[in-house]
A and B are shown apart, each in its own frame.
Chain A
């Protein structure tokens, strides 16, 4: 459909995709290590944590809210689950179920405070970030958990394949979880009416209420889903790090936010796609990876990330302004 393609060409996603493609081509030509299976698998594995959280935050932003307490939620889910896994053995299904339940429960607390007490979501989640995190470190004394159950430490490895250099690849836990969560989020947002209701809520809250949508229930769903993604992300992070540290996750909130907004989600609500979020995350990942491969000191990587965020949001604002000028008839 040429019309759909024309629409896509004007979209934020097209623009992001172009930038990424240019980066990928450039890096493939300029470095040896970029376009190797190993590098790409490593990238996926190490960015899975941010990606899963990004899919949850995307849903919150679309609904017109914001959550920055999810790193604390993840820390708690991780800690409780691994503590119990060490004590009682457990298995994959139970640990994921447990982490999810913890995440959902903490998400529900956010939703109730935001909806019932009518406090803005940014304030609530700043408060609960401090509450969750403060209590976790207070109760645990900030102690790390170094030994994880052997089956957990070992992880999973599907479709293993060993290349000529005897380096093995496969679908590991991180990549699997990332794929599952992105797919799940896409399904919810585009294939269920709940997802469309979330867009409706973010697009015009008052009108949604007039149409009889249950805003409280939607808020519960949205913040619990954020909690669920935090629970899942926390486990694959623990598996990758081979330890649980209550203090290392908090502080990464804004990285996740950056990826989602780079992907085109609006802080005003109603706008954002899973595809865009994937692209936003990819841009950050490829750029940081590329800088290292190009031999730019890793100390400067943050500088370039910040620069790209600034350039990207400025360019988007400028093109939106031009578009508005073009459309304006009055």
Chain B
């Protein structure tokens, strides 16, 4: 296959930080290439250099179809056929599908709008990749998967020869991921090069030819995708070997803390029955749309079920708000840390105590400053959160430390049941271990934990027992130490 893009000796410094150090990369027409690395490994800087948003240091060379550049600007990059589809898709929700696709081709300069030309462009782009969407629908009315198609069509309309997709599968259901991968194969056949920047690799590896791993701004290497798996990649990305000790613990003598019987909610889940014991970590896995998050929200009092029962310590619960759930000792770590888990702009201290404001109340309903600070300090120390000042905004912390603040604010409520929904999303592999350790420590102290995740290794290696959910129902139950990744994967995708 002909080489489309070649990068040699690419380096980039930001102040004192070496974001990229002497990185080489070749991308061939018609290949699917994965670019992986932890946060801060240099992935996004590399994309910015390819898309011309930032110039590399002197000495770097960018060769596109045998034309050499010392650096690109966004216009040159687009003209050369490079299109980046960011995770947020960069669409305009208020405009129609046609306009979103044609926006780059027909809206520059100053002239009258040629609606027919815009529609023709959009139609052509959709035909090229065999997609069929209503041109006149507003993008805000589309599903996430269809929005992604619009973004890909937009790249097609710009005559893309290289499409870089940032975390394209993050919010898609398995079915939608399959459709996307089928589309990627189509693009490949047309000689288009696709770069996936992703952390969920098991899906992407199916269609990829090569994988390039970055760590700390350096290229670890480029590998044949067929020889790679999640585990090998994790080692390459972190430079660390991971060991999971799995041991079957007999929990049958423990007291049941939480149980559900025939719990149902129309459109979300149906007939869910399970028991959760003291000190047990119960993994729940299933694809996006399987009803796992909706179930968790119901247990947390935010998505009232319309049938069945929830019992806590033998007492029936009818929760009407999450405050009630919290007061009953149920805590919920949301899947979406950035918009639901934390108030990013506010301080670490405020975020830590937000769940227990009323408990801290003292004389005349005031929060004593000393008690406030000592509570915050205690949790920062207990969870070894690395902070210079607890009054700094929580957004100044790394993903791993942010998630520790989330755990702190829930541990502060002294929960008896802790529900963790995808607790390590956006957390570096090396920081994940710290989170698991905290969770295991809690379980050892008798807290009952529900660990929800779509990453099979995560539930397998960190739970005692695993429930599989599909289409809103529990379809399987496995003892973790008697199971394996492959067994679970089959059960999830069946």
Contacts and interface: CB of A to CB of B under 8 A. Distances in A.
User: When A and B assemble into the complex, do they touch directly, with CB atoms less than 8 Å apart?
Assistant: yes
A190 interface: yes
Contact of B94 (A192, A212, A271, A330): A271
B289 interface: yes
A321 interface: no
A196 to B, nearest CB: 5
A202 B110 contact: no
A195 interface: yes
Contact of B99 (A4, A196, A208): A196
B452 interface: no
A201 to B, nearest CB: 9
A192 B111 contact: yes
B476 interface: no
Interface in B131-185: 136, 141, 143
Interface of A is mostly: helix
Nearest to A207: B90
Contacts, number: 72
B110 A204 contact: no
Interface string B91-108: 111110001000110111
B95 A195 contact: no
B249 interface: no
A200 B95 contact: yes
A330 B303 CA distance: 12
B113 A191 contact: yes
Interface string A71-112: 000000000000000000000000000000000000000000
A3 B135 CA distance: 13
Contact of A204 (B93, B143, B289): B93
B111 A206 contact: no
Interface of A: 3-4, 7, 190-197, 199-200, 202-204, 206-208, 210-213, 270-271, 327, 329-330
B293 to A, nearest CB: 8
Nearest to A217: B110
20 contacts: A3-B136, A7-B136, A190-B113, A191-B112, A192-B111, A193-B106, A193-B108, A193-B111, A193-B113, A196-B95, A196-B99, A200-B95, A203-B93, A204-B91, A204-B92, A211-B103, A212-B75, A212-B108, A270-B93, A329-B267
Given A200-B107, A211-B90, A270-B93, A329 B113 contact: no
A21 to B, nearest CB: 26
B207 to A, nearest CB: 26
A196 B93 contact: no
B478 interface: no
Contacts of B106: 193
Contact of A192 (B90, B95, B113): B113
B74 A212 contact: yes
A272 to B, nearest CB: 9
A203 B92 contact: yes
Interface string B428-455: 0000000000000000000000000000
Given A193-B113, A210-B86, A202 B94 contact: yes
Interface in B282-318: 289, 293-294
A210 B155 CA distance: 13
Contacts of B294: 330
Contacts of B90: 204, 206-207, 210-211
B48 to A, nearest CB: 11
B92 to A, nearest CB: 4
